[in-house]
Homo-oligomer: A and B are copies of this chain.
Amino acid sequence: MSRLNLTTQRKAILDLVQSCEDHPTAAEIMERLRMNGHQFAYGTVYNSLRYLTDAGLIRELKLGETASRYDGRTEDHYHIVCKKCGRVDEVLSAPPADWIREVAAKTNYDVHHSQVVFEGVCYSCKHPNA
């Protein structure tokens, strides 16, 4: 509940994540920061990513891989992973409200949130010679 405090490090990490076309892991973020001339402590990168996630400025994605990925897009959306090349693309269609209501009714839960990860083969991997 305390007010936002964007230090140099946090700002640089926020800018970087927001500028990414993809969904980098913490390790990839550190690598890119280094390439941009920054050199922050290992722990600071993790602390900042958590801080920015808690502040709602970025999102942490747990896609079932060993490492979390980070996303500059904060609107609710989902992801699809190519099992051939590993790329992660956006899924902007939300699950139908009817289905969510049905799940809530059948499980007796208040459903607050859903994480959806699709798995499949992307266009480039499907058409390798195009």
Contact = CB atoms under 8 A, between A and B. Distances in A.
A81 to B, nearest CB: 9
Interface in A54-109: 62, 64, 80, 82-83, 89-93, 95-96, 98-100, 102-104, 106-109
A12 interface: no
Interface residues of A, number: 37
Contacts of A110: 120-121, 126
A28 interface: no
A123 B106 contact: no
B120 A113 contact: yes
Mostly, the A contact residues are: mixed
Contact of A115 (B108, B112, B119, B126): B119
Nearest to A112: B120
Interface of A: 62, 64, 80, 82-83, 89-93, 95-96, 98-100, 102-104, 106-123, 126
Q: Which 6 A-B pairs have the closest CB atoms?
A: A62-B64, A108-B123, A109-B120, A111-B120, A113-B119, A115-B117
